[in-house]
Amino acid sequence: KQEVTQIPAALSVPEGENLVLNCSFTDSAIYNLQWFRQDPGKGLTSLLLIQSSQREQTSGRLNASLDKSSGRSTLYIAASQPGDSATYLCAVDYNTDKLIFGTGTRLQVFP
């Protein structure tokens, strides 16, 4: 069964910290992996997409890495800010009709 797990489920950090969110998947034959951000009462915003042939993608203070062989991806957030507070979801695409989502990490960055 293809499952996606995210740890931790929740994280609370002071502003300015660098932090790492983890995503693991049971089937390593992925097509691509996306990281999304979800704000309360809002839809999902795609942050980064990593193709299966790539090792990492960067956007501003965000860096996502992919290690297919170990079934893991990490999202690194540098110099966290209160505006980064949200739920972060990773989703795996096996080149089928659907994305398989993890249950998310709820991040709170306090001033």
Partner 1 sequence: GAGVSQSPSNKVTEKGKDVELRCDPISGHTALYWYRQSLGQGLEFLIYFQGNSAPDKSGLPSDRFSAERTGGSVSTLTIQRTQQEDSAVYLCASSLAEKAFFGQGTRLTVV
How far apart are the C-alpha atoms of 38 and 15, rounded to whole Å?
A: 19
**Is residue 2 a contact point for partner 1 (CB under 8 A)?**
no
At 90 the three-state DSSP class reads strand
**Is residue 25 a contact point for partner 1 (CB under 8 A)?**
no
**Is residue 73 a contact point for partner 1 (CB under 8 A)?**
no
- Joined tokens for residue 19: 């932090």
- Joined tokens for residue 27: 């089937």
**Is residue 94 a contact point for partner 1 (CB under 8 A)?**
no
**Is residue 76 a contact point for partner 1 (CB under 8 A)?**
no
How far apart are the C-alpha atoms of 27 and 16, rounded to whole Å?
A: 35
- Joined tokens for residue 34: 């996306």
In the complex, minimum distance from the CB of residue 92 to partner 1, in angstroms, rounded to a whole number: 12
Q: Which of residues 40-59 bind partner 1 (CB under 8 A)?
A: 41-46, 49, 51
**Is residue 100 a contact point for partner 1 (CB under 8 A)?**
yes
